[in-house]
Every structure is written in C-alpha cells, then in structure tokens.
Chains A and B, each alone.
Chain A
Amino acid sequence: MTSPEPNPADTNTDNANPDSARWTFAGFRRGALDVLPFVPGITGFAMAYGTVAARKGMTLFEALLMSATVFAGVVQMVVLDSWPETLTVASIAGILALTALVNARYIMIGATLRPLLGGEPARKVYPTLFFLVEPPWLMSLRYYSKGGRDPAYMLGGGVAMYVTWVTMAVPGFVAGAAVANPKQFGIDLVMPAFFVAMLVPLWRGPRRSYGLIVGAVAALATDFLFGGFWYLIVGTVAGCLAGVFNDD
C-alpha cells in the first residue's frame, strides 16, 4: 500500500508489449509480505501433512519431493489417505482422477487471472502459474482491484507459500503432530475468514451479484447431497453461468 507503483514515464525497454507491466523485485517482496497472515495456517497444514506422510511409510525425501513438485496441500493429503496397496494402471488412474477433481477449482481460478495477466509474456506467466495457490490469488485480486499492476506481486506470494509448504513438512515428519490445536487460536479459520472478507467488496447488491448468490447456494446443495469435492466445481460453474444475468 505504501510502495509507489512503477512510474509510467519509465522507459520500459525490456518488453516490446506496451500492455506488459514491469516485474519488479519490490512487487515480488510486497506480494511475499502480503501473504504472511496465511503462514501460520499453511505451517500447521504442512506439519500435519509431514506427520501423515511419515505414518504412511514415506521417506522424508519422498515427502518433501511430493510437496516440491505437486505443491497442492489438499491433493497431497487426499491422495496419501487413499494410496492403494499395489500400484496398477487402474489404481494410478484413480489417483490421477482424484488429483484432477480435487484441484479442478484451479481451472476457474486460473481463468480469473486472464484479465489480470493476459498482457504479460507467456514465458513469464506460465512459470508463475506453477506457484498459483489460493492465498496469493486472493491477495492479487485485492491488489489489482486497488490499482496494483506489478505481475511479480503474485509470484512473490506464491514463492513465499511454496517455501513455507515444503520446509514446514519437516518438523511434522520428524516430530509428529506435536503442535498445539490450531483451533485454539483460530488459525484454521484464517483462510475462510479472508474469503468472507473478500466477499464484502465483491457484493454489489442482489441484482449484480447473481454469481455469488448462485455459487453459494449451488455449492451448499451439492455439498449436502453428494459430499466430497464436487461442491467447489458445481458451485463455481453455476455461479459463473448465473453471472451472465448480472446487471451491468
């Protein structure tokens, strides 16, 4: 909020595309700092993952390699939980289908980034998307809605989450879940709280918020009827389709 935006008068010789903003270290650092409120929650989750991985008979190397390559907490937990006795073509296909289902919400999240990053060169955007997780996505929506334009902001947040996620599995793996109950300090609700806080500025009166209303109702109904992870997909698709009827 305090650091100045890049001066538009600066000569931008690095990029031929006039839409392309500058990727600065200042933006990267600011993105990393803005996700700090999520660090306790991610730390607790990473430690829990490390503990589960140890209990499932993974080596520390395997556990960290999974975090460093897959980098998707819910996917890792769910897949470990349902790891088959023997790997067959069918059981591997099952793991991958579960992976795709649990992470399908990122298809929607990625779509929301096109208006923000569409002017940037693909060689920078696609590597950045490897680090796409919810906290930097939320913070980026907020940052862009306040006029921020440095694409390195999201990368900074993503890398900060990545480092936290990979390293904090170590104490969980070594020591087991010797952590205080995260519920005691409300740490488990920090992420949902950010989500609901973000809903307040997104609410634009009932006639311009069909996406939000339908998304919530559809997700709730799907969760109630089917359980599992379908609610995220059904809710966001229904909400996004309903958004067509929003008043301008």
Chain B
Amino acid sequence: MIEKDAFGFFVVLAAMTVVVYVTRIAGYWLIGRLVIGPRLRRMLDALPGSIIAATVVPTLVQGGPRAVVALSVTVLVMIVVRRDFFAVLAGAAAAAGAFAFGL
C-alpha cells in the first residue's frame, strides 16, 4: 500500500509532476524551435482534427450502442444547428434516453 513508504511516495509524485509538465510544454516548445515551412504548416493545421478523431473514434466503437446513438445525435444536431453547446446537450440527452431504454 502507498502509505508504507511516505518518502518514496513524495519522490514519485515529484517525478510524475515533472514528467506530466514536460508532456504539456514539449510540443509547444518544439514547434517554436522549428522554422515553419509549408509542409509543417499543413501538418500543424491537420493536428487538431487528428487528435480529436483519434481520441473519440475508439470511444465511439467501445462505448456500444448508447455511445453510437448519443454521438450520432450530437453530430446531426451540430450539422443542422452549428451550435456546439446545443449539440452536446442533445447528445447527453440522447445518452440518458438510451440508458433509460437499457442500452
């Protein structure tokens, strides 16, 4: 258990804090060191979409029918209304509805 070794715990915590902070600043720092040409520009432009797609698609697949229903509703409302807060609200409502139906 963790409290057996309080000193070790604080050492690990300090090291984890550094590692996590480095992941937060490394990308920002690195891109700042590079000269941004047209290829890198296109990669940077594609990056937010890549991150978002890579994050959410496995959720969609693993979340089962409830996630598929909720996130499909979100996309449809977003395409029609173009207001993300409404789309998310509709998606959460659809998820709650799907839950009530036992999905």
Contacts and interface: CB of A to CB of B under 8 A. Distances in A.
Given A103-B19, A189-B91, A200-B78, A108 B58 contact: no
B5 to A, nearest CB: 6
Given A70-B16, A186-B92, A220 B50 contact: no
A242 B39 CA distance: 11
B8 to A, nearest CB: 4
B28 interface: yes
A99 B19 contact: yes
A246 B40 CA distance: 12
A-side interface size class: 35 or more
Contacts of B57: 216, 219-220, 235
Contact of A83 (B2, B31, B49): B2
B35 interface: no
Interface stretch (A3-11, A15-23, A59-67, A161-169): A59-67
Interface SS, B side: helix
B55 A232 contact: yes
Contacts of B95: 183, 185-186, 188-189, 193
A197 B75 contact: yes
A184 interface: yes
Nearest to B56: A195
A114 B40 CA distance: 12
Given A211-B46, A243-B43, A62 B56 contact: no
Nearest to B103: A183
A242 B43 CA distance: 8
Interface string B58-85: 1111110011001100110011001011
A188 B92 CA distance: 8
Interface stretch (A24-32, A43-51, A124-132, A170-178): A124-132
Contacts of B30: 107, 111
A104 B19 CA distance: 10
28 contacts: A71-B20, A75-B20, A79-B16, A92-B8, A104-B23, A108-B51, A112-B44, A112-B51, A115-B44, A117-B28, A129-B25, A188-B95, A190-B88, A190-B91, A192-B56, A192-B67, A195-B52, A197-B87, A197-B88, A200-B82, A211-B46, A214-B50, A216-B54, A232-B54, A234-B54, A235-B50, A243-B46, A244-B43
Interface of B: 1-3, 5-6, 8-9, 11-17, 19-21, 23-32, 39, 42-63, 66-67, 70-71, 74-75, 78-79, 82, 84-85, 87-88, 91-96, 99
Closest 7 CB pairs of A and B: A243-B46, A239-B50, A235-B54, A211-B46, A186-B95, A110-B27, A111-B27
Given A99-B16, A118-B32, A129-B28, 19 more contacts: A37-B88, A58-B3, A66-B13, A69-B13, A86-B5, A96-B15, A110-B28, A112-B51, A129-B21, A130-B24, A138-B52, A189-B70, A193-B95, A194-B84, A196-B56, A197-B88, A211-B49, A211-B50, A223-B62
